[in-house]
Amino acid sequence: MTDNPIFAVAAKAAALRAQGADVITLAAGEPQAATSAAVVEAAVDAVRDPATHHYGTAQGDPVLRALAATAVAGDTGVPWSADDVQIALGAKHALFLATQALIDAGDEVLVAAPGWPGHAEVVTAAGGVAVPVATDEHFRLSAEALDHCRTPRTRAVILSSPGNPTGAVHPASRLRQIADWAQQHGIWVISDDIYRAFDYTGTYRSILRVVPRLRGRTVVVGGVSKEHAMTGWRVGWLVAPPEIIASARLHVSRTITHVPTVNQRAARAALNDPGTPVEAARAYRRRRALLVETLNGIDGIDCPLPDGGMFAFPDVSGLLRDRGWTSSADLAGWLLDTARLAVVPGEAFNAPGRIRVCFAVDDETLITAIERLQTALASTEHESSAQQLEEVR
C-alpha cells in the first residue's frame, strides 16, 4: 500500500526544515494563510462552552448542516435542507463516505487522469476499483472518454471542477454531456466542489445547476479547508439523497461517532463569512498570473493558464530533455536539494513530464520561490551550454 505521494514531498521538505534548511514549499495543496481571526475566535468561544465538551449527533451540528445546505443550494439552484447533509472530517472523508455508500467490493469508480490521487485512494479504501479516465487537452472529462472506460461494474464518476492539479473548469456544455451520459447508464456523479470559490474565468457551474434532474443521482462534496484556509480543522460535508446520507451517518456513528464539535462551530463561523474566499480568490488570481508568466519565460517549460484552483501545472518535458533530468520526480528532487524549493512531480497525478506548483502562498513567498527557481535553472543553463560547447570542440 502506498501513501499519497504529495505527502511524501511535504514530509521531505518538513524534514529538511527540521534540520535547519530554508525550504520554501509550493508543494502543499493548501493555502499558506492562517485561518481568519473570526473563525479562531468562534473556536475559542466554542471551547469555553461546556455544550461542546460532550457527545453531539453523528450527522453533525444542525446549524452547520443548515448553513452547508444553504451554500450548496446557492451553487446548485436545487433546494437542500439540513437533513440532506452529513458532516465529515474534511472533504476527503466526505468523498470516502459517499463512495462507501455507493459501491460494493470490486465496483468501479471513474476518476480523472491527470487527477488528485486522493480520489483513487478513497475508492480503494472503500473496497472499490478506481479507473483512471484520460482527460482532453484542457484536462476535462468527456462523455466519450468516460464511456470508453465504462463496464457493467461502473457505479460512479468523481468530477472535480475546478480540478486539482489541473485547475480545469468544466463548462456547462460539457457538464450537460456528462450528466446525460450518467443518467443514461445509471451512474452516480460525485461532484467534488472543494475549489468552487477559485474560478478565474467565471465559468464554474455545479453540474446540478446545469442539469437539476440529476439530483437523485448526485452527491455534492464540499468543505472549509481550501476556501477558509482550514485544512487542519478537518471539516467537510456531503449533500446527497436520503439513502446516501443514511449510510454515511451510520458509518460515522460506527467509527468516529461525530466530527469534533469545536471544529464544527469554527466551520459555522467560516460559512458565515463569505468575504474570506472572495478575497483569497482575488489574491490567487494575481499570483496565478505572476507564476504562469514566469514559468512560460523559462525555456523548456510550457504552462497553461489554469481556469481555477490554486495550482500551475506546467509541462516541463522540454526542460527535462534539454537539461538531462530523467523525470519530473528527478527535477523535483533536484529543486528541493539545490534551490530548497518543494514542488510536486507530475507522477503523483498520473502526469509524468509535469510538475504541480501551488500559488496559494503570500506574495513574498511566491516571489522568493520564483527567484530561486530562476537562479537554479539559470545555473544549469550555463552548465548545459558549457557542456554543449565542450562536445562541439
Ligand X SMILES: Cc1ncc(COP(=O)(O)O)c(C=O)c1O
- Peptide bond before 212: cis, by omega within 30 degrees of 0? no
Shortest Cβ 45–ligand X spacing (Å) = 23
Please give the residue whose beta carbon sits closest to ligand X in the complex: 90
Shortest Cβ 91–ligand X spacing (Å) = 3
* Identified binder of ligand X from the candidate list 160, 161, 206, 328, rule CB under 6 A: 160
Is residue 248 close enough to count as binding ligand X by CB under 6 A? no
**CB of 91 or CB of 336, closer to ligand X:** 91
**CB of 159 or CB of 320, closer to ligand X:** 159
Is residue 277 close enough to count as binding ligand X by CB under 6 A? no
Q: Name the amino acid, one letter, at 69.
A: A
Is residue 284 close enough to count as binding ligand X by CB under 6 A? no
Shortest Cβ 218–ligand X spacing (Å) = 16
What three-state secondary structure class fits 113? strand
Distances 383 to 307, 324, 329, 380, 389 between C-alpha atoms, Å: 36, 11, 21, 5, 10
Shortest Cβ 28–ligand X spacing (Å) = 9
Shortest Cβ 30–ligand X spacing (Å) = 7
For ligand X, the binding residues in 194-233 under the rule CB under 6 A are 194, 223, 225, 231
Distance CA 64, CA 82 (A): 8
Tell me the site size for ligand X, rule CB under 6 A: 14
Nearest alpha carbon to residue 315 among 271, 285, 346, 336: 346
Is residue 263 close enough to count as binding ligand X by CB under 6 A? no
Is residue 121 close enough to count as binding ligand X by CB under 6 A? no
- The answer to whether 301 and 315 are in contact (CB under 8 A) is yes
The angle, 0 to 180 degrees and rounded to 10, between the axes of the packed helices 261-271 and 62-76 is 40
Per-residue mark of binding to ligand X, 79-118 (x: CB under 6 A): -----------xxx-----------------------x-x
* Identified binder of ligand X from the candidate list 29, 114, 128, 304, rule CB under 6 A: 29
Q: What angle do CA 266, 25, 88 make, to 5 degrees?
A: 30
Is residue 164 close enough to count as binding ligand X by CB under 6 A? yes
Q: b/e per residue, 154-193, with b = 16+ CB within 10 A?
A: bbbbbbbbbbbbbbbbbbeebbbbbbebbeeeebbbbbbb
Shortest Cβ 146–ligand X spacing (Å) = 18
The angle, 0 to 180 degrees and rounded to 10, between the axes of the packed helices 261-271 and 37-48 is 140
* Identified binder of ligand X from the candidate list 114, 236, 304, 346, rule CB under 6 A: 236
Q: Name the amino acid, one letter, at 34.
A: A
**CB of 339 or CB of 343, closer to ligand X:** 343
Is residue 4 close enough to count as binding ligand X by CB under 6 A? no
**CB of 171 or CB of 236, closer to ligand X:** 236
- The answer to whether 182 and 189 are in contact (CB under 8 A) is yes
**CB of 160 or CB of 328, closer to ligand X:** 160
Is residue 264 close enough to count as binding ligand X by CB under 6 A? no
Nearest alpha carbon to residue 261 among 54, 38, 35, 45: 54
Q: Name the amino acid, one letter, at 170.
A: H
Nearest alpha carbon to residue 88 among 108, 118, 64: 64
Q: What are the residues binding ligand X (CB under 6 A)?
A: 29, 90-92, 116, 118, 160, 164, 192, 194, 223, 225, 231, 236
